[in-house]
Amino acid sequence: MSRVCMAVAQMRPDFMVWAEKKLLFKGEEKATGRELSAARSELLQKMSVAWVTGTVQDGANVQRPCVLGYAAAGCLVQVCVCGGGGGNRRAAK
């Protein structure tokens, strides 16, 4: 695998659902329950935008959509809302 392919793979969440070029749902998974905060942090960092740049109008009156996701670690699962409100990243507990 080339360096470029490896770098791209590292920026993708572990699980993604796409429809019509829009990211609808994503997830990040870790092996042990102690890693839930790491899974949540990676979920918010990886692919934090719900669409490809330039496919919607950007402007002051356009609210960016959020992306639903999950962070899983061991047997723990947390559902998160990623993005929205001008592109800010946040996790809802």
Print the SS3 string covering the chain. CCHHHHHHHHCCCCEEEEECCEEEEEEEEECCHHHHHHHHHHHHHCCCCCECCCCCCCCCCCCCCEEEEEEEECCEEEEEEEECCCCCCCCCC
Q: What is the pLDDT of residue 27?
A: 93
Q: Identify whether 40 is part of a domain.
A: yes
In a domain, 93, yes or no: no
- Which residues of the chain fall short of a pLDDT of 50? 86-93
**pLDDT value at residue 8:** 53
Residue 47 domain-assigned?
A: yes
Question: Does residue 70 lie within any of the structural domains?
Answer: yes
What pLDDT does 89 receive? 46
pTM of the model: 0.66
Q: What pLDDT was estimated at residue 36?
A: 96
- Looking at residue 6, its pLDDT comes to 53
Count: domains in the chain: 1
**Residue 90 included in any domain:** no
At residue 77, the pLDDT reads: 96
The answer to whether residue 88 is domain-embedded is no
pLDDT of residue 23: 77
Q: Which domain holds residue 77?
A: 3-83
**Partners of residue 72 on adjacent β-strands:** 29, 77
